[in-house]
Amino acid sequence: MRLRPLIALLAAATAVAAAGIAAPAAQAASSGSTRPKLRQVGYFTQWGIYGRNFHVKDLDTSGAAAKLTHINYAFANVSPEGLCFQSATPGESDAWADYQRTVPAEQSVDGVGDTWGEPLNGNFGQLLKLKQKHPNLKVMISIGGWTWSTYFSNAALPENRAAFVSSCIDIFLKGNLPILDGGSGGPGAAAGVFDGIDLDWEWPNWNGEPGNVIRPEDKVNFTGLVAEFRKQLDALGQSNAKKYELSAFLPANPAAMDAGFEGKKIFKYLDFATVQGYDFHGTWETVTNQQSALRRPAGSPDNPDFTLERTVKSWIERGAPRQKIVIGIPYYGQGWTGITAGGNGLFKPATGPAPATHQAGFEDYKALKTLGYPVYRDWQAGHAWLFNGTTFWTYDDPLVVLQKTLWSRSQGLGGVMVWSLDGDDSNATLTKTIHLGLS
């Protein structure tokens, strides 16, 4: 019985968010509330302009840009020598998408197309235009990610880290882009695009993608690295009267936390950290499960299980200030097929990943919402899933997103992050729902 008022509130608030109408709470907050503004962070993927046909302009036309406080641009790479760099080498960097591509008028934020060889084209040029239209929006360059964390360990070594930080600041904050193939770039070409650095090392002293360099001293070296970033960012800010922010993406696994991070120490230097709130389970397993539950579901085969609540609690126990924790929410689902055990599909054997648009077992919210499968919910655990008798998708819909957002506020946390913005629908329903919950 106690859940009924919450369900009614969530349903009503979600309808308001989807319609793009300001809720009374949001109006009150904008008219004099002194509560600190919470962060609403979204990752924009460099490669989204290709198969997903998702462009910076879509953040404006959907209404997402007006709701976000931060965009994290994913990703910049780290060289074997431990430096930030830009190149046109496939698999190593994508200068074409970043700043060379001539964006046509119909894909441009301001309706003006690019000309080949201008100092700043591509996604970077569009992000600058987006910031001009939304002056309160901050854009961070995110370094690493699952694929490009290979040489982070080299960069964090005491003898390398100052040069690494300097190279990242030079390219992305000072905007000194190399001129490649006679295209865009040059001294100061990208100045003003980025307002800070997001470190996405997956993971210090812990297995990530095969081939990653790992050292036992990664843990202490990560602390040294964030300290060096803080030092150089503050020095740059003093020279131009600007505040540059520093954030990091942190894991959900307590074992990875202990192996790679000095919890209390790193938060001395970070403005905030986004914590993993997804990929708790997935199609690397043969049994259906939740990938992003708020709490452990009843009947879960794992105890303890990976959950958002456990992740946040684990970081707080390790010294993270609540107000600097920004929880992660997925704009995609994990899916299995070949399920014959009946019931609601949860915790059932499957034969493999479910068919999907771009990658088997992985589908955007905007596609999942159109499947028409029955929706199942566990309000107590805070997760939802789709199941049609054979195929199962664990995902976050607007009701789950709002439930998590309201929970983050109730815990005194610092906001919400999403991976990734291209998974939302054309009306930015999930992004607007988060904004409603944070307002």
Residues annotated as part of the active site: 202
Give residue 64's region: left, alpha or beta (phi > 0; psi -120 to 50): alpha
Residues 193-207: b if buried by 16+ CB within 10 A, e if exposed: bbbbbbbbbbbbbbe
* Residue-wise DSSP of 188-251: TTTTTS--EEEEE-S-TTS--STT----TTHHHHHHHHHHHHHHHHHHHHHHHT-PPEEEEEE-
The helix or strand, by DSSP H or E, that contains position 385, with its residue range, turns out to be strand 383-387
d(CA 123, CA 126): 5
Q: Where are the alpha helices (DSSP H) in 318-357?
A: none
Q: Is 315 helix (H, G, I), strand (E, B) or coil?
A: helix
d(CA 233, CA 209): 29
Give residue 271's region: left, alpha or beta (phi > 0; psi -120 to 50): alpha
Choose among 277, 301, 287: nearest CA to 383.
277
Pairing of strands 392-395, 383-387: antiparallel
Angle between helices 3-19 and 398-410 (to 10 degrees): 110
Here the tokens at position 258 are 């202990």
Residues 214-233: b if buried by 16+ CB within 10 A, e if exposed: beeebbbbbbbbbbbbbebb
